[in-house]
Amino acid sequence: MSMSLLRALLGGAVIAALGFAQGEAPAPVAAQEPVVVKNPFQPFDRARFEVAAKQLGANEAQLQTFATQIAELGLTRAADNLLRAAVPAFDAAVKRHEASDPAAALELTKVLAAATDPLLQAHVRYHLARVFIDSDDPERAIQILNEYLKDNINRSPLDAEAAFFYAQSLAEVPRVDDAIPRFRAFLQWFPEASERFRSAAHQQVRELERQRESKLHHLADGMKKTTRDLKKQKTDKPVQLDQEKYIEELDELIEMYEEMEKKSGGPPNGNGPSSNPATQSALPDGDGSVGDLQKRPTLADRWGDMKDRDREKIEAAVQKGLPPQYQKMLEEYYKKLGKAQGK
Amino acid sequence: MLRFLQDRVNKATKEFDGKAAEQKVADAGKVESDKLSGKQARVRDLMRKLAVKMGKENDATEGGK
């Protein structure tokens, strides 16, 4: 069923009037041809990557290590390790994340604010998004991965994971209608991505589609009850409120399908390069390609365990020297982290 | 379409509810509430059919992968 037909069945008023009054089937609605979105991702260019890494300070020995690690750890992790070796401040910030230090977001943001090279920005944004995801803050992850997808793609082998985690973050918000096409795009555009990520994406698409489908069943269930109420001549306020709720839910569904229709077709809009797939978050267990994914105390736990003066130190640092958009982002992040721990 | 149909049922329900009590309990009132219930049932059936159809399409898409 095309998206436009589905939307019409949910919302098309004039046709519906005839159908309701006379029991006629709705008139056919012309389906729009889906517009194919061009894959914005290009194959990884190792030579270009190595030139950029050298410009960031990578030396020959580090490049040799990179070459060796590709076979041992995989391209993505080897590339990230090279960047970490070349840029000590970035490495230090990532280590804070690996140690579940709440200052990780602040330190990564400082590195990001100072970075002008798109390759370094890509890696910092990826790690910062992972910090937000680990802090159960998918909105902030979406914000930072939008920047990645807008400004940093086709520089690093991290693109596939950035695409996965973006979709994952949308799913966690939950923005089901935005997440599904992005998981699909990830699967289509990154056939060589790790099987763990691909399996997780397949599973997510199935689960999200079921969620969407169940909304329709849920509505039908509610209407069944109302049908019984009306039969019993119950037409008072509670019944009317139930009925109004159905209209609201139908409006939401119509809006959702309109959005999906726009996104399966038209040019990118809304958050980020909309047709780009994006990131990943809830990794399947095992090696993420980058970073330590072992279980550890959450960032919110650590934030709660900190001494007041240490928390205040971080909060004060957020107010100093960061671009306004990042200052606001971190203010909201730490506020949310504090709420999770009642601080 | 479903939204429009539901909106029609909602308005009819409010209208019926606004009538005087004696009008509602009379035979004509019973006929009217049965009609209302029937209209709500039609919207429900359409919604259910749509949900089932969507479910089948999703399953078919998965099966084709």
Percent of chain A whose pLDDT exceeds 90: 60
Q: What is the pLDDT of residues A181-194, one digit of tens each?
A: 999 999 999 999 99
**B58: closest CA among A259, A268, A45, A1?**
A1
ipTM of this predicted structure? 0.89
Q: How far is CA A313 from CA A91, A103, A104, in A?
A: 21, 10, 13
d(C-alpha A58, C-alpha A79), whole Å: 11
Encoded tokens for A184:
């699909």
Predicted confidence (pLDDT) at residue A173 exceeds the cutoff of 90: no
Q: Which residues of A touch B25 (CB under 8 A)?
A: 233
Is there a contact between A260 and A37 (Cβ–Cβ < 8 Å)? no
| Cβ <8 Å between B17 and A202 | no
Q: Would you state the pLDDT for residue B49?
A: 87
> Can you say whether the dihedral through the CA atoms of A122, A128, A130, A132 is positive or negative?
negative
Q: What is the DSSP string of A239-285?
A: HHHHHHHHHHHHHHHHHHHHHHHHHHSS---SSSSTTS-----SPPS
Encoded tokens for A3:
């998206």
Predicted confidence (pLDDT) at residue A288 exceeds the cutoff of 70: no
Q: Which residues of B touch A226 (CB under 8 A)?
A: 40, 44
d(C-alpha A82, C-alpha A60), whole Å: 11
Coil vs helix vs strand at A35:
coil
Cβ-based burial of A236 (10 A; exposed 0-12, middle 13-18, buried ≥19): exposed
Q: How far is CA A125 from CA A119, A122, A296, in A?
A: 10, 5, 22
Coil vs helix vs strand at A61:
helix
Is there a contact between A276 and A37 (Cβ–Cβ < 8 Å)? no
Among candidates B1, B34, B57 on the partner chain, residue whose Cβ is nearest the Cβ of A8: B1
Distance, first Cα to last Cα, chain A: 49
Q: Would you state the pLDDT for residue A321?
A: 87
Kind and range of the H or E run holding B22: helix B21-25
Top mean-pLDDT range of A209-223, A298-312, B14-28: A298-312
d(C-alpha A280, C-alpha A70), whole Å: 21
| Cβ <8 Å between B55 and A213 | yes
Q: What is the pLDDT of residues A8-65, one digit of tens each?
A: 777 653 333 222 222 223 333 333 445 567 899 999 999 999 999 999 999 999 999 9
d(C-alpha A48, C-alpha A286), whole Å: 30
Is there a contact between A278 and A145 (Cβ–Cβ < 8 Å)? yes
Residue A274 neighbours by CB under 8 Å, 6+ apart: A263, A268
In chain B, which residues touch A (CB < 8 A)?
Answer: 1-10, 13-14, 16-17, 24-25, 29-30, 33-34, 36-37, 39-44, 46-48, 50-51, 53-55, 57-58, 62, 65
Q: What is the pLDDT of residues A204-243, one digit of tens each?
A: 999 888 877 778 888 888 898 899 889 888 899 999 999 9
A4-24 burial, b at 16+ Cβ within 10 Å, e below that, comes to bbbbbbbbbeebbeebbeeee
Q: How far is CA A250 from CA A253, A298, B9, B61, in A?
A: 5, 38, 14, 24
CA A254, distance to chain mean position in Å, is 23
Query: Higher-confidence residue: A112 or A136?
Result: A112
Task: Round the average pLDDT of chain A to a whole number and report it.
Answer: 83
pLDDT band at A1; cut points 50, 70, 90: low
Q: What is the pLDDT of residues A115-162, one digit of tens each?
A: 999 999 999 999 999 999 999 899 999 999 999 999 999 999 999 999
| Cβ <8 Å between A13 and B1 | yes
- Across the range A63-82, mean pLDDT stands at 97
Q: Would you state the pLDDT for residue B56?
A: 73
Where do the H-state alpha helices sit in chain A? 3-11, 13-22, 46-55, 60-73, 75-86, 88-98, 104-114, 118-134, 138-151, 159-172, 176-189, 195-231, 237-264, 299-305, 308-318, 324-340
Q: Would you state the pLDDT for residue A274?
A: 35
